[in-house]
A and B are shown apart, each in its own frame.
Chain A
Amino acid sequence: MTMALPLAADRAGDQYADGSEPRSVAPTPTGGLAVPTIRRARDLAIWFGMAAACAIAGLLVVAVALVLLVKAHPLLARVPISQVLLSDVWRPSGGQFGLRPFIWGTAWVTGLAVALAAPPSLLAAVYLAEYASPTVRAVTKSALDVMAGLPSVTYGMWGLLVVVPFVGSVAIPFLAKHCGGLPAHSGRYAAGYCVLSGGLVLATMLCPTIISVSHEVLQTVSAHCREASLALGATRLETVRSVVVRTALPGLLAAIALAVARALGETIAVLLVVGNVPSVPRSVVDPAYPLPALIANNYGEVMSVPLYESALMLAALVLLGLALLFAVSARIVLLCTTRRVAG
């Protein structure tokens, strides 16, 4: 009777970490060690519960993509996707849903934020990994964890009350005076709600992420390489430049790609400061309207306009695609680098 319920271990057909087959833990039916049926049944039930939880968790991301795709389909059935993505006209009441201004808005804000955040963050990570004392490292690590977890509305409020006035009253006049040729239409929104403000706020939010990921990457470079270089007479800086950074380069790029993925989806902090005007920005002092802000500002009205919900879901799908492109490639690179160094 006991044989009727095979041990779940056999069912899962798994292996130990070192690749060997599981040693037979199933007692023989004739032996006195036979596991009582009730325990085997419980084993099977728990196995089933865990496997089900695992399947649910694993399929969630597929479900997200599928639901968004199904919801976006009514619009795509009516209008070809190239037209939606490349059209400039956003008039929901007229049934025209051109996403191009929003995609460009996202690209401008994200690009500026990463360009502003990456250089100082990488430099800080190099300093922490190569020069700083263990105490400084421990303190900064805790601080970075806290900063990276701060709610985006905190950064958003800071941006609204500090960055926007600063950009409006200091940065834009400065740029206008010294860089000359600002586009003629840039004077329209002189209040400081523009790509530059969004980029500055977002850059501040990205710094903790880039520093902590690239710090971890730099720490995976083996001490032997470092010591060999130092023993040959190279200074710290030369070691950093020609050994550490060169070895860690893929990982550092991955840290930046991870930041891009995070920046693409940032909603509240950006929404508060970029101005939300649906036109393609032509310079950093123009207002922009990124995709997340589009979704957050308009979800309340979707029921009153046909195809509106479909258009917003398509916007979410585009955002998902962009974010995953960067996040997944970054994860793959990070996984490979840590494995290579560990192995």
Chain B
Amino acid sequence: MIGRRAVDRVFRMGAMLVTASVFGGLLSVVAWTAAKGLGTVTWCMLTQTPAWSYYLGGGGGIANAIVGSACLAAGATLIALAVGVPCALYLGTYARGSRLAELVRASLETLWGVPSIVVGAFGFALMVWLGLKPSLLVGMGTVALLELPVIVRSIDEVMRTVPSELEEASLALGATRAETATRVIARQCMPGAVTGTLLAFGRGIGDAAAVMLTAGFTDAVPRSLTDPVATLPLLVLYQLGSPVDQVRQRAYGACLVLTLIVAATSLASRLVWLRLARHVAR
């Protein structure tokens, strides 16, 4: 039946072409961002805060947003780690296989599905309720909500592969449950924790909708937790709307910087995973 094999070959070619064009399209977005941004990024732009005439095409740079985004995402990641690591350890040790663990996992999966703008609205509502102003602290707390499910799932997935013999051996040697969890199991989960942290950081720094409602915007580098803080995605958004050509040019540069940071964390998480996962006992 030559006909059938010919059909198969045609399908194969067609599918390959579609795949290539989908990837080509996606790569072209990245290439376009790079091409647009490359000419506009200068050293001054990365290291200076905006001058008073910045939004009219005057001097200065985007250091306020770079530092702001980094602080915000780092702080949010720390908060998410503070809750996420004990939570994941609990799910994998004390609550292993229990119904409670399944419930918490389901709840976190659900939280992952909550759109960032809705998390932002939640943060905004709480902020108004508590009488706070948009600030680094409120932004960190809100973005931490977006990052928490990423961290817990990364650790949890590694923890499932830890053999129960390891835990039993530790208990048999006289270690308490807590000692087993924090010293034996936690060490096994390091690759998951590092990967998850990087992924969460990437999600946090690239997010625009939640920080828009809760972190505010400013031309200064944040000095305390109660200061409003500028973030890269919002900077790009605001500059894109400018009628001044030079300001729009700098939006392309800022967008390239942001894209590079996010792509680098994403690649780093993958490399870390490939390097560290070899050492996990299975």
Residues of A with Cβ closer than 8 Å to B? 7-9, 12, 14-19, 23, 25, 27, 33, 35, 39-40, 42-43, 45-47, 49-54, 56-64, 67-68, 71, 120-121, 123-124, 126-128, 131-132, 140, 142-143, 145-147, 149-158, 160-162, 204, 207-208, 211, 235-238, 261, 264-268, 272, 292, 295-296, 299, 309, 312-313, 316, 319-320, 323-324, 326-328, 331
Contacts and interface: CB of A to CB of B under 8 A. Distances in A.
A12 B95 contact: yes
Given A43-B178, A319-B117, A58 B29 contact: no
Contacts of A296: 117, 209, 212-213
Interface stretch (B56-64, B120-128, B219-227): B120-128
B111 A131 contact: no
B262 A9 contact: no
B145 A60 contact: yes
Given A151-B206, A316-B117, 5 more contacts: A57-B84, A123-B14, A150-B262, A324-B114, A326-B113
Main secondary structure of the interface of B (DSSP, over half): helix
A131 to B, nearest CB: 6
A323 B16 contact: no
B29 A154 contact: yes
Interface string B151-176: 01000000000001000100110101
A109 to B, nearest CB: 14
Contact of A120 (B22, B87, B124, B164): B22
Given A9-B94, A53-B83, A327 B209 contact: no
Nearest to A330: B113
Contacts of B5: 235
Contact of A127 (B15, B114, B213): B15
B5 to A, nearest CB: 6
A137 B249 CA distance: 37
Given A35-B176, A295-B121, A299-B124, A14 B18 contact: no
8 smallest A-B Cβ distances: which pairs? A265-B115, A327-B113, A151-B206, A46-B178, A50-B90, A316-B121, A53-B86, A127-B15
Contacts of A331: 106, 109-110, 113
B252 A50 contact: no
Contacts of A155: 29
A268 B176 contact: no
Contact of A128 (B11, B19, B90, B148): B19
B100 to A, nearest CB: 8
A43 to B, nearest CB: 4
A237 B168 CA distance: 48
A208 B96 contact: no
A63 B111 CA distance: 10
A260 B237 CA distance: 24
A6 to B, nearest CB: 11
